[in-house]
């Protein structure tokens, strides 16, 4: 149920489409500013933006078709008519990553991590803005909650069958706010490093964004009633799987740097053991909440605690790596 902003020449223009358009414009503009400031490579910028946009649209639609095949007449219809249907945000991630890698492979850009850092900050702003689009439709909600709760925790939506207004968990708002906080924290960290004249290695912003955003999505996407799943798996959503992949990528790469910078220490095993235990705890809470929906508050509180522990330990691992790298002059 989309809210119409206005009608132009027989075409319905929806408020959610306007919000998403503003989100894309904000992300592209910020990426352009950041990348030109960091690299002064106008050629790479002029080629990356249209490539990323094209790949993002195509992959976002393909993933949406894959997960919701019954919503389309055919794959051909889904991939040739973009005036209707839906899109999956994860396709935008894939499109931007592929575009950045392609520019590096073609030697248009010389620094892939640097471009990905700029994409992470700009993309985070776009996600925070675009996350407000469900204010004007019925998507990205969770369980019915108390009528006493309002934004940013709950927002009413009208049931398409009964016509009754239901106050549901505003997952979209929590995702938008959390992403905005993540971007704000990363920008603040970069400013502090600049003031202290400490260099931040290219790629670290991307890894930290993957760690924080991935952890948030693992729990928040679990609360949605319209998550996208793989055809062979109805237990965890694709977003949760990719969120975990992002978290693991950060853990592995920061751990490798820690060992390389400091040499192997026995206490490192404690970090990795704790991480495995917390992952197991978070995974069990996902299993638990799917079988005890009436105890969602208990399950999500414990899952959040596990994910917070994972983030904290990973940040400590990175801090140990970075401090040793600075000391070694790297």
Nearest residue to 236 (alpha-carbon basis) of 189, 283, 171: 283
276-295: pLDDT as tens digits: 999 999 999 999 999 998 89
Say yes or no to pLDDT of 330 above 70.
no
- Is 319 within a domain? yes
Q: Do the beta carbons of residue 95 and residue 62 sit within 8 Å?
A: no
Say yes or no to pLDDT of 300 above 70.
yes
Say yes or no to pLDDT of 49 above 90.
yes
179-217: pLDDT as tens digits: 999 999 999 999 999 999 888 999 999 999 999 999 999
- Is 277 within a domain? yes
- Is 298 within a domain? yes
- Is 281 within a domain? yes
- Is 265 within a domain? yes
Q: Determine the structural domain holding residue 304 and report its residue range.
A: 226-330
- Is 2 within a domain? no
Q: Return the bridge partners of 157, or none.
A: 166
Say yes or no to pLDDT of 328 above 90.
no
Nearest residue to 296 (alpha-carbon basis) of 145, 139, 172, 151: 145
> 96: Cβ–Cβ under 8 A, 6 or more apart, which residues?
52, 55, 56, 119, 123
The count of domains in the chain is 1
| Residue 40 buriedness (CB in 10 A; 0-12 / 13-18 / 19+) | exposed
Summary mean pLDDT of the chain? 94
Nearest residue to 48 (alpha-carbon basis) of 17, 22, 21, 27: 27
131-187: pLDDT as tens digits: 999 999 989 999 989 888 888 899 998 877 777 888 999 999 999 999 999 999 999
- Is 106 within a domain? no
- Is 296 within a domain? yes
What is the SS3 assignment for 8-55? ECCEEEEHHHHHHHHHHHHHHHHHHHHHHHHHCCHHHHHHHHHHHHHH
């Amino acid at each position: 149920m989309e809210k119409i902003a206005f009608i132009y020449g027989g075409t319905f223009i929806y408020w959610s489409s306007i919000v998403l358009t503003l989100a894309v414009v904000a992300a592209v503009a910020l990426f352009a500013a950041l990348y030109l400031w960091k690299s002064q490579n106008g050629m790479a910028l002029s080629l990356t933006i249209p490539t990323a946009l094209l790949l993002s649209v195509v992959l976002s639609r393909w993933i949406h078709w894959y997960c919701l095949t019954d919503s389309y007449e055919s794959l051909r219809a889904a991939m040739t008519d973009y005036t209707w249907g839906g899109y999956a945000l994860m396709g935008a991630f894939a499109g931007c990553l592929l575009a950045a890698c392609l520019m590096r492979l073609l030697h248009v850009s010389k620094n892939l991590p640097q471009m990905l850092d700029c994409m992470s900050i700009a993309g985070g702003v776009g996600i925070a803005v675009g996350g407000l689009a469900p204010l004007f439709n019925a998507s990205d909600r969770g369980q019915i909650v108390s009528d006493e709760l309002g934004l940013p925790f709950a927002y009413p939506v009208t049931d398409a069958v009964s016509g009754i207004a239901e106050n549901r968990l505003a997952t979209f708002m929590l995702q938008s706010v959390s992403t905005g906080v993540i971007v704000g924290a990363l920008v603040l960290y970069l400013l502090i490093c600049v003031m202290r004249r400490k260099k931040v290695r290219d790629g670290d912003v991307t890894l930290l964004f993957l760690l924080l955003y991935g952890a948030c999505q693992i729990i928040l996407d679990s609360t949605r009633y319209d998550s996208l799943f793989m055809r062979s798996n109805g237990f965890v959503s694709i977003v949760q799987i990719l969120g975990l992949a992002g978290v693991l990528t950060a853990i592995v790469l920061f751990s490798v740097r820690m060992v390389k910078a400091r040499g192997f220490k026995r206490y490192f095993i404690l970090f990795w053991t704790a991480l495995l235990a917390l992952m197991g705890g978070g995974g069990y809470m996902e299993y638990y909440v799917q079988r005890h929906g009436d105890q969602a508050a208990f399950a999500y509180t414990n899952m959040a605690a596990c994910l917070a522990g994972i983030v904290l330990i990973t940040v400590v691992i990175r801090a140990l790596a970075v401090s040793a790298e600075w000391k070694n002059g790297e």
